[in-house]
Chain A
Amino acid sequence: MSRPLLAALTFAAAALTALPSSAQESFKIGNLSPLSGPAAAFGIGINRGIELATEDVGTFTVAGKQYKLELVPYDTSLDPGKTVAALNRAILNDNVKYGFILGSGVHGAVLPIIRQHGFFDIFMGAMGKEITNPENPTVFRFMASSDQLYYTFTPEIYKKLNIKRVGFMGPNNDLGRADVRMLKDVAGRLKGQGVEFVGEELVEINAKDFQAALLRLLAKNPDAIDTNASPTGTVGLIAKQARELGYKGYFISSTAVLEAKALVGIAGRGADNIVAYRIWSTSPTKLYQEIADRHEKKYKEPTLGTVWEAYAATRWVVEAVQKAGSFDTKKVAEQLAGSSFQFHPYGPATWGGEKSHGIRRQIQTPLPASIIKDGKWEPLEVRMGVLE
C-alpha cells in the first residue's frame, strides 16, 4: 500500500471514529474540568461530588420516564483549546446537555458554543458579571464569585480585624488582575474608615518563590495581604515566605478552596492569621459533615474543596429538571432560577445577582469566614452583607 494512500485511509478512519453515544435512559452530566495538571484537585473534587450526589439521587422520573444520573468527565487541563474540543465532543457526540465547566479563563472560548447550543453550564469559577450575565441565560454560577465576596464580605472583615492598609499578591492572570481591580475599588469605597490600598504584586502563574515580590510589598507595611485567586498551596507558600521576611499581619483569601492541614503543613505556625471565606471551621449542617465522612471513606483522602458545591449543584439541577418535567435547558434554567434548595451542605440556597450581574444566576448560600489560630480554623464572627 502506498504511503499517501495509507495516510488517506487512516485519516478517513480517524475522522469517522466518533464513538456512538449510549442511548439508554440516563441523564448525562458532563464535567469539563482539569483532571490532570496542577489544578486537577478542583476537577477531581467535582467528579466526586457528582458521584456522591448520584448515590443519593438514585433513579428519578421526568415526564413519566425513569432516569439515572451518568457522569461524563472530560479533561480540559484548564486549556481553552482543549475545553472547546471537549465541549464539542460533549454536545455533538455524547449528547451531553448539562455540565460543569471549571475556570473563568476557559469561558472566553466556550461561551459562544454554550450560547449556540443552549448548553447548561454549571459554572465553577470566580469571575463575576463577565460570565454570568443576561447574554448567557444558561450559565449558572454555583459558587461565590469574587465580586460577591469582595463587596459583601471584605469590608466586614476589615472592620472586624481593624485592617487599614491592604496589599495584594496574586497570579498574573485574568483572575488576579480582576481581583486587583475590585480590591482597589472596595478600598476606595472604604476610604471613610481609613482603609488604604498600599500596593499589588502580580507574579508568574506557576511561581513558587515570592520572596523578592513580597519584600517590595512588605516595604509598604500592610496590615493584610489579599491572596485571593491563589490556590491552597500557593497561599501557604506566600504565608511561609512572608513570615520568614518578618511579616506579622493577616492574609485574606477567598476564592481558593483552602484546607487548614495543607496550609499549616506548608507554612507551619506561619499559617496563623490566614483568613478565608468559604471555610467552615465547624460543620454548618449535618449534610456537610456526612458528605465529608462519606468522601473520606470512599476516596481515602481529605475532602477536596469542590466536593460540597458539586454535590449540591448536581442535586439541585436534577430537582429542577424534574420540576420542569423536561430536559430543555431553557425551561430548566427558568425553573432553577426561581427555585430555592434545602439540600445544600452550606445551608438553604437560592439565586441572586439580578442587580450586580443583571440576571439571577449567582448562587446565594450562607458563607462563613474563618481564621487560622494555632494551626486550626476558628470561626470569625462576621455576617455577609448584600451585593448591590
Chain B
Amino acid sequence: MTLALLGQGLAIGLVNGALYILTALGLTLIYGILHIVNFAHGEIYMLGAMLIYVLFVALQWPLPLAFAAIILLAVAAGLAVERGIFRGLRGQWMQLLVASVGISLIIQSLSWIAFGAQEKNVPSVLPGVLIIGGVRMPLERLAAAGVALVLVTGLYWLVYRTRIGLAMRAIEEDEETARMLGVNSDRVAAIAVALGFVLAALGGAFVAPIYSLNPGMGLEAILMSFIIIIIGGLGSITGTVLAGLLIGMLQSIGALILGAEAAHVLVFAAMIAVLVLRPQGLLGRA
C-alpha cells in the first residue's frame, strides 16, 4: 500500500470522524445534563437535513435565511418537547426513554407521509476537491468537519466558561443541591434540550449536501451515534469526540486494509471491547 493511499485513508477517517461527532454531539449534551437518552435526536437531525432541502432547494431561500429558520425551529421544537413531555417525566428515566422513542416514531412517520419516499438531495454549495500532496478532500466535507470543530469548541466554552454552563454542570452533579443554590433547573433544562435540538438539526443540515436524504436517515444516524456514545461514555463531550474519531479511523483504515465488511466488524469489536473492559465507556462515569 502506497503512502499516498494511507494518507488518503487517514484524511477520510479524520473527516468522517468529525461528521460522526457532528451527528452525536447533541445527544451527548442532552444526556450529560438531563440524563435523557433522546431517541428523537436522529429525527431532528433528519428534519434539519430535510428543511435545508425544502427551504434552500425547493423554496430557493438564501442559505443564511434557511439556516436561521432551521435554528429557530429547532429551538422552538426543543422548548416544546421539554415543556410538554420531558419536564413532566423528570426523574422517570424509563418513561423518558420510551417517550422519546414515541416522539421519534411520530416525527418519522409524519415525514414519510410529508416528504414521500423518493430520495432528496441538496446540491453542494462548495463543489470541488482540495488536493494536497495527492490526498483529495471534497471541500463540502472539509467544511462540515470545520463546523464540527467549531461546535465542539463552542460547546466546551459554553459548558466550562459561562454561567449557564456552570448551572448545567451543577444540575448534572446534583439537581437537588443545584436547586437549593438557586439554580432554575427548569430553565436550564429547557435551554439544554433546545441546544441539543439545534446541534442535531445543524448536524443534519450540514451533512445534507454530502449524502442523499430520506426520512429514514434519522434511524441510521441514531444507531451510529449510540455506538459512539457507548464507546465514548455517556454525556462526555470529550468522550464523544474521541469515539467519533476512533470510529472514523477504524472504518477508513480498516476498510482500506481489510475491506468494508471487516471494517464494520471492527467497529462492533471495539464496542464489545469497551463493554467488557469498561462498560461505562472510555470517559464515562457509572
Residues of A that sit less than 8 Å from B by CB? 36-41, 44, 172, 201-204, 206-213, 215-216, 219, 231-234, 236-237, 244-246, 262, 265-266, 268, 301-302, 304
Q: Which residues from 109 to 160 on chain B have a C-beta closer than 8 Å to any C-beta of chain A? A: 109, 112, 116-119, 121, 123-124, 127, 129, 136, 138
CB <8 Å contact, B123 and A262: no
* B226 at the A interface (CB under 8 A): no
* B220 at the A interface (CB under 8 A): yes
CB <8 Å contact, B212 and A266: yes
Residues of B within 8 A of A211 (CB): 12, 16, 252
Can you report 27 A-B residue pairs in the complex whose CB atoms are below 8 A from each other? A41-B117, A41-B118, A172-B261, A172-B264, A202-B259, A204-B264, A208-B211, A208-B220, A209-B16, A212-B12, A212-B16, A212-B252, A212-B263, A215-B5, A215-B255, A216-B259, A219-B1, A233-B119, A237-B211, A244-B129, A265-B123, A266-B119, A266-B212, A268-B123, A268-B127, A301-B118, A304-B118
User: Distance (Å) between the CB of A230 and the closest chain B CB?
Assistant: 12
Which of these, B9, B123, B214, B260, contacts A203 with CB under 8 Å?
Answer: B260
Residues of A within 8 A of B112 (CB): 36-37, 40
Q: A208-B211, A244-B136, A301-B116 are in contact. Are A266 and B121 (CB under 8 A)?
A: yes
Name the residue on A nearest B119 (C-beta).
Answer: A233
CB <8 Å contact, A216 and B256: yes
CA distance A209 to B144 in the complex (A): 14
CB <8 Å contact, A212 and B256: yes
Name the residue on A nearest B260 (C-beta).
Answer: A213
* B165 at the A interface (CB under 8 A): no
Name the residue on B nearest A265 (C-beta).
Answer: B121
Q: Which residues from 148 to 185 on chain B have a C-beta closer than 8 Å to any C-beta of chain A? A: none
Residues of A within 8 A of B13 (CB): 212
Name the residue on A nearest B252 (C-beta).
Answer: A212
* B216 at the A interface (CB under 8 A): yes
Residues of A within 8 A of B109 (CB): 36
Residues of B within 8 A of A39 (CB): 117
CB <8 Å contact, A208 and B212: yes
Name the residue on B nearest A219 (C-beta).
Answer: B5
